[in-house]
Structure formats: structure tokens, C-alpha cells
Amino acid sequence: MPTLQRRKRRSEPEEAESSDGSQGPETQRRRTTEDADEEEDYGVGGATQGEGTNEMAMKLVRLALALEFQRRPLRRSDISEKVLGPNGRQFKHVFNQAQIHLRTVFGMELVELPAKEKVTLQQKRAAQKSASQAKATASWVLTSILPSNFRDPAIIQPLSAPTAVDESKYTAVYTVLVSMIRLSGGALPDAKMERSLQRLQMEDNTPVVDFEKTEKLMKRLEKDGYIVRIKESTGTGEDDVYWTVGPRGKVEIGDNGVRGLTKAVYGEQESETAEDELERKIDRSLGISERLEQINREQAAEKPKKGGRKKQNQQQEEEEEDEGEDEEGE
């Protein structure tokens, strides 16, 4: 009996030693695994940090598509609030990355909307007084960059909300109205607009669903930025009312859209001479030659000194950085 007990006692320390010895490699393996996990975590963290700009760019793409579906402009404040958050200084990089996604995947790009023209004397005076104040917040809309041979109704179909047919009617109405305003020198008196609507059999009612009343449709066209109603006091107790093209109408339709609609209405010409004459008439109605002359005069008057443009670009970049810092502070 004592001999057996001694043997058991001897075996217990041996088992304890063996168990202690086995813990060494397991502990080393655990430490090695933990170190590997830490390295992997660091690698994932670095990738996530590197992908932060791309994720924000994709979020900006989704936001731009959603707003364009509603025909709402994408504003700088929307980007700061819903995309960038505290990363306001990354605006330029995120915006450029989003443009790459839009161009390569969707065949579209964001185009900055022009500022509303100061037409009336009151608006011009107000603009002069506020010239020293901060510039207006930039806003953008999506436009197609597909080649002309791909801009076919079979490829670029109208939106299906509410239906493709109803959307086509709305597109046709605002394209015709914008073209009439542009071909009238950029401003169409209210009386002529009413006569034009009468000829289109839209004096009181329209074929657009949910906007059967002409007055309601015109308000929607103003809200979407296709046309602008200007009311100017004459000082005699009566107001001059006329219509101009809105920011979205200038970008989405532009001179090329007006030209295409006009040539479609006139149809194919019998000779090249007649075709050239029609082109000259369209250019004259659009005031293209006058605008080119004005641009040439402005460029000749400016004549920036050597390095002046570089300094201007540098100042613009500094302003964007300042805006980003202000947004981060907010």
C-alpha cells in the first residue's frame, strides 16, 4: 500500500509538470494569434480609413440620384449635412470621386447651376449692395454625358413615375416653353406667353396628370427651375410681367435642346442652302453671335497678367478650405 501511494504521489507531480509544460506552447500560440488579430484589425482599420472617401463618394452619388429623381438641385449644404459630416475639408476630393462614379457607371455628371439673373432694377441694386457679402451657395444637377447617337428615346426613356407617358408630356411641355422663351431673345412677355399657351390648347387646362390646371403647372415649372416669372414695377401703377429661362432650363435644355426642337419642327430641309439659312436664323434668335462678341470683348478687357490666373486659383482653393473649416466648426 505505501508503495502504491508513493507511486501515485510521484505521478501527480509528473502530471502537474507535464500540464505546466503544455501551457507554454498554448500560451505562445494564443499570444501569436492575438498579435495576428491585432495586425489584422489594424489592417482593416487602415482599409476602412482609406475607403472612407470612397464610401462618402458613393453616398454622394446616391444623394444626387435621389434628388434628381425629384428634380431638386443638390446643394452644398446637403452634401455637408448628409454626406461629409465632420469631414468638411474633404469636399473637393469626395466630390471628384463621386463625379468619376457618375461618369463611368451612369453616364452622367454633376453640373453647377448658374445663378439666377438679376433682371429688374431692384434686383440689380440689391445685388450691388450684397456684393461684399458671401457668395451664393453652389448647387448642382445631373446631366447626361452620353454621345448624341446614344441619346435615343429607346435608350434614355422617361421616368416611370407616375408613368412614362405622363413624364413624356411634362418633358414636352417644359421643353417647348423654354424654347419659346429662348427664341424670343430670352424674355417672353406674359401676354405672348398666354397667346402661345392658347395655340398649344393649354390656355386653361393641360395634359399633365396632377397638373391639369395651367396655373398649377406653371407654378411647378417655376419650382423645378425651368422658367422664371418676373414682375417689374413701371412706376405708373402697372407691372410688367414676363418670363425668362430658369437655371435648370439653361442646363438641362440649353441652346442645343432649343436648336434640336426647332429643327425637328421645321423638318428636313430640301437643300444645304436652306439648312444653312435655318441655322443662321436659329443662331440669330438665340443671340449666339452677340454673346460670342461680348465674350471676346470681356476677354480682351481682362487680359490677366502672368501668374494672375494661378493666384486666382490659389485663392479659390483657400476659400474652399475655409468653407470646410467653417462647416467642421458648425
pLDDT in tens, 9-32: 555 555 444 445 445 545 444 444
Q: What is the mean pLDDT of residues 268-272?
A: 87
Dihedral over alpha carbons 196, 200, 204, 209 (to 10 degrees): -130
Determine the longest span between alpha carbons in the chain, in angstroms.
Answer: 131
- Give the chain's mean pLDDT: 78
Q: Which domains does the chain have, with CATH numbers?
A: 159-286 (1.10.10.1210)
CA distance 137 to 116: 12
pLDDT, average across residues 44-66: 75
Give the tens place of pLDDT for each residue, 196-254: 999 999 999 999 988 999 999 999 999 999 999 999 887 777 888 999 999 999 999 99
From the CB of residue 120, how many other CB atoms can be counted at a distance below 10 Å?
Answer: 14
Mean pLDDT, residues 57-83 taken together: 94
Contact call for residues 246 and 222 (beta carbons, < 8 A) = yes
Confidence of residue 317 (pLDDT cuts 50, 70, 90): low
Task: Quote the pTM value.
Answer: 0.71
pLDDT tens digits, 103-153 = 999 999 999 999 876 655 565 556 555 654 445 578 999 999 988 888 777
DSSP letter string over 118-183?
Answer: --SHHHHHHHHHTTTSPPPPPEEEEEE---GGG--TTTSPPP-SS-HHHHHHHHHHHHHHHHHHHH
DSSP structure class, residue 304: P
